[in-house]
Structure 1
């Protein structure tokens, strides 16, 4: 089943909100990506704490709105990253005021981020496109049941792809690849596993709050119709 025109109109404000959050998290990931953090001895880019949120939103949109809307969300996010890249480039080219003494630190931080933006953009596009495809592959394979399987199976592999590309292109020659890759992937997968309950909660809330049931995964969810 697909969403009807009236259902799409009813859900439009929520989709816009999720898109805005999705875009904001992407930009945060870019802004924070140059910082390496250590959690329990694990080294990773700070963006490892932000990008799992994008997969949560992508999977929610895929579950409620379907593959086409999820793919459109990913493409829109790509243009957000491109716009961010262009804006940062322009700002870096504009000389700082004489009264501002942080020009060198600013340029050093965001100069590195330019490379990270390119790495993150490529990693994002490939991994998110895969995530949307894999989510619906598993949904078809499980006949629409077991949301947790498609959520975790699609996201885990997508995080592997994202991490390998991002660390390789973004930090290659700066820090040892495996030191950052392993930590980054562990953190991302850990957060991906933790976000499964939130996907269930968000999907259930949307179905009940907006009385939308086009993409119900099983007859059990019919209890949400009240």
Structure 2
């Protein structure tokens, strides 16, 4: 008599996929943000074009799965980043092989400045938790109505907290030293990230609707 091997059943859900994308975007943004960028009169960093996507996915997680599930994803990204930084430093510290000619470049790219890491972790945790909290708090009052208000309102709260904390801590490290440039950095980052989420709101709407449909989402009763 043969017996079938036992396995832990995998639940059909898109939550793990969204969390994986969420964490990947944050990890990539941590590396690209170490480069200061000037676009005409605007001062920003190399993560400006990707990082707003983390808030889009954060909104999907909060709207579809609730604050606790969003918080779990946020802390997953937080501790994964700490693990990545530790791994980067260990890899840099290990002696390079004789044939490896790029140790300096490797260390330059992955040797994240501790202050940048601190800025990123603090900004990320504060911003994302504020975003998730604001969206779910608004949903308690509005129910399924006015999704656009929840998306914009939570983005304003979360992005402001994130941008302010990150920029104030990280600005000197990437070469921003004057008060005017620091204000520019904060304002431009906040406006840009908020504007991006507003522009991609139709995509956010579509993703939220798709996830709710395929996750057997049941709206709360209005009674």
TM norm structure 1:
0.82
Q: Please tell me the root mean square deviation across aligned C-alpha atoms, in Å.
A: 2.3
How many residues align structurally? 208
- Unaligned regions of 5+ residues in structure 2, if any? 1-9
Aligned to 1:43: 43
Moved over 6 A (4+): none
Question: For 2:204, which of 192, 199, 207 is the aligned residue?
Answer: 199
Partner of 1:10: 12
1:168 is displaced (CA, Å) by: 1.4
Aligned to 2:176: 175
What TM-score comes out, normalization by structure 2 length? 0.83
| C-alpha deviation, 1:216, in angstroms | 7.0
| Aligned equivalent of 1:87 | 87
Extract unaligned runs of 5+ from structure 1: 1-7, 219-226
Q: Is the alpha carbon distance of 1:117 and 1:109 closer, same or farther for their aligned partners in structure 2, counting shifts above 3 Å?
A: same
CA deviation profile, 1:37-59 (whole Å, cap 9, x unmatched): 33454221122222211111111
Conservation of the 8 A alpha-carbon contact between 1:48 and 1:188: yes
Name the SS of the counterpart of 1:101 in structure 2: coil
Which residue is equivalent to 1:222? none
How far apart are residue 162 of structure 1 and its match?
0.8
User: In the alignment, what sits opposite 2:33?
Assistant: 33
Aligned pair in 2 of structure 1 residues 179, 95: CA closer, same or farther (>3 Å)? farther
Question: Distance between the aligned counterparts of 2:220 and 2:213, measured in 1?
Answer: 11
Query: In the TM superposition, what whole-angstrom CA distance separates every residue of 1:187-216 from its partner, at most 9, and x where no partner exists?
Result: 211212123211110011123344x23247
CA 1:76–1:112 in structure 2 vs 1: closer, same or farther (change >3 Å)? closer
Aligned to 1:185: 190
| Bigger Rg, which one | 2
The verdict on how the C-alpha distance between 1:189 and 1:142 changes in structure 2, with shifts beyond 3 A counting, is same
